[in-house]
Structure 1
């Protein structure tokens, strides 16, 4: 009986030892301690959980829009060629951040269309999203068909050149759908007597109307007899004062207009009488005589009206005496014209404390001393525009004197000649000038894209200067030189 008991006790000990192991995965050896567990076989290992990969098209539109913000225009066009959704996203971004998108149609010949392309070749890739079209030869059905096929949904601005409208002409009726979406329409050297019956009566959302050098019309000018409830601005350039438009009646019927650009002394005289509470008044002159003829009325208007901003534009070079008159006009805060190559000119400009926008047409054989004096005299300058093709100074010597002004926010250079006069180090030198200034905003310089590409300059994040192509510059509504 004893051996039997002894055998049972060993069995109990072994059972208790196995039950006392923490997880049952390792056993106890009385002599050598715990026995390590056996490693599992490869076929017994459970596979890791599958990781779900997010496709680019699964990202929402806001994230894709942020990615678009990092792409140059060429890459944006490439992205738009991949699929319809990305094409729409690229087009929407293109419209919002490249407001200077446009195409100029020179002529229609034998079923072919001759373009004058912008310098940035985005027309073919993003053609459905082009907002501005200028047509210099209107060829009836050929033009209508082309507009419908290529610029139907997103077209917002159209400029028509040299159309001789006939009474009850079907030009506008053929593109009625496009006209109903338009926000801006411009007529250049057109017979404007019946543009209302042809075009304007279809423009239900019109905000900007432009008429430049209208052809004399002996009948009734019916567009001036209408009320346009959505119209915000008008540019009316009738230098010869030959058109029989009742412009005073037009302003009386449309008191909601807050921006007027005009040329011609008769038209300007009417504006001084009828529009005394504008946001912007732009007065354009082709000769000294026109300015002298209207100067007294303009000075009285600037002293007694509530118009916020007055801009003067001159197509020809003025004498120094005229700037004494301009300086006496209180509300002039923008000037577009030529420089007077006289050392007294900066002193006259210095008396115009309110001058904040300057657009210069010429920068010929002026010295660097002259540029420095001019820059120091423009103490409140916020915007500086260059359209000169005859710059003798280098890019750095021309720009840096103006960059020392902490209020300067934007420089626009329309000249391609600057490509031969700027280097990669020039932007770094401009940044060194801007760094010690007490300003948080960056200085934005707009220029031709090929100039920016040729500089091959990568702007660091903390740089106070940024370069942008002209396609990202918002165009002025009253300009006709598209």
Structure 2
């Protein structure tokens, strides 16, 4: 929404907004408080001076101010970490100098929170999310860390799954098949991240979720805790040609290299995340040779590599890799 549209919305509230103000303050039935004569640009200037705690307090004064402050929160703090603890949503706040301050409770902005992070299997947290599910109108991402994904726990946030576009799992254990547990409800998924987590149980000998079609999926990260071979990837890329970005670990790429070489997959970006493997000169040469073969057959156009330790020898080796962009 443009600033001009926002100004019109604030300057000419509809009847519903008038009714909300009347309920909050009957003395102002005739006209809204004068502060609402300010444009969105003016409110933005005011909010620039407020820390997260004060912004949240500002937004709790009335329903209309909650909308104004909440939209500012959504637009300017969408990258902040929002997580649930003590039966409330908290936001980790950084000031203008980048100094991270303590987590601030921001439950009054629940309907403006784009991403919820859930750590561990705390049933109090899960029950809170379940009880407030209708409030999370803007939530399109969920991030699970150290979480046991099973049907008993998933039911607490099942109501949110249809609106999600991004799912991320880090250090999680999947007890069952991820499709049956969650993904079959997620009709709008654009990105899936499985990071140092199990891929789930085999059902009748198959990893079912990798055999499904996800019409809107554009990005997959598959860096499982077990880097063994997964034959289902042959079918996954055939059924999901819209996936243009694939992220994985060096070990997983190597163990599944022939699957990728024998596929007709055409990615825009291949992304590799490495901790130790590239430090071995012999293993590095084999990996770089595999990458060049994949590039020659068109498996990827652009290559991104993330490395924890970098030295001159590794730098010289990477110079020979085709398609390396980052």
Relative to the length of structure 2, the TM-score reads 0.71
SS of the residue corresponding to residue 71 of structure 2 reads helix
The aligned residue for residue 226 of structure 1 is 212
The aligned residue for residue 28 of structure 2 is none
Aligned residues: 273
Please say if 1:159 is aligned against 2:143: yes
Q: Give the distance between the partners of 2:32 and 2:129, measured in 1 at CA.
A: 44
Pairwise CA distance, 1:68: 1.2
Offset from partner CA, 1:124-183 (integer Å, 9 cap, x none):
2534422222212123575133354276322221122344445xx243344222111111
Please say if 1:283 is aligned against 2:276: no
The aligned residue for residue 25 of structure 1 is none
Distance 1:114 1:181, change over 3 A: closer
Contact 2:195–2:222 under 8 Å retained in 1? yes
Pairwise CA distance, 1:255: 0.5
Alignment of 1:20-419 (within 5 A): 55-59=34-38, 63-65=39-41, 67-68=43-44, 71-72=47-48, 74=51, 76-105=55-84, 117-118=92-93, 119-120=100-101, 121-124=103-106, 126-140=109-123, 142-149=125-132, 152-166=136-150, 169-188=151-170, 189-191=172-174, 193-215=176-198, 217=201, 219=203, 220-238=206-224, 240-242=226-228, 244=230, 246-263=232-249, 264=252, 265-267=254-256, 270-271=259-260, 273-274=262-263, 276-286=265-275, 287-288=277-278, 289=280, 291-305=284-298, 307-315=300-308, 317-334=309-326
Q: Give the distance between the partners of 1:309 and 1:152, measured in 2 at CA.
A: 36
Instruction: Kindly indicate which of the two structures has a greater share of residues assigned to helix.
Output: 2
Contact 2:196–2:224 under 8 Å retained in 1? yes
Distance 1:271 1:159, change over 3 A: farther
Q: Give the distance between the partners of 2:80 and 2:114, measured in 1 at CA.
A: 7
**Gapped runs of 5+ residues in structure 2?**
1-30, 94-99
Q: Give the distance between the partners of 1:94 and 1:179, measured in 2 at CA.
A: 23
Pairwise CA distance, 1:210: 0.9
**Gapped runs of 5+ residues in structure 1?**
1-51, 335-482
Q: Give the distance between the partners of 2:91 and 2:42, measured in 1 at CA.
A: 32
Contact 1:284–1:313 under 8 Å retained in 2? yes
Pairwise CA distance, 1:234: 0.9
Distance 1:243 1:68, change over 3 A: farther
Which protein has the larger Cα radius of gyration, Structure 1 or Structure 2?
1
Q: Give the distance between the partners of 2:43 and 2:262, measured in 1 at CA.
A: 52
Q: Give the distance between the partners of 2:90 and 2:73, measured in 1 at CA.
A: 20
The aligned residue for residue 30 of structure 1 is none
SS of the residue corresponding to residue 312 of structure 1 reads strand
Distance 1:306 1:222, change over 3 A: closer
- Aligned Cα root-mean-square deviation (Å): 3.3
Contact 1:236–1:261 under 8 Å retained in 2? yes
Offset from partner CA, 1:413-463 (integer Å, 9 cap, x none):
xxxxxxxxxxxxxxxxxxxxxxxxxxxxxxxxxxxxxxxxxxxxxxxxxxx
Q: Give the distance between the partners of 1:143 and 1:53, measured in 2 at CA.
A: 39
Q: Give the distance between the partners of 2:79 and 2:174, measured in 1 at CA.
A: 28
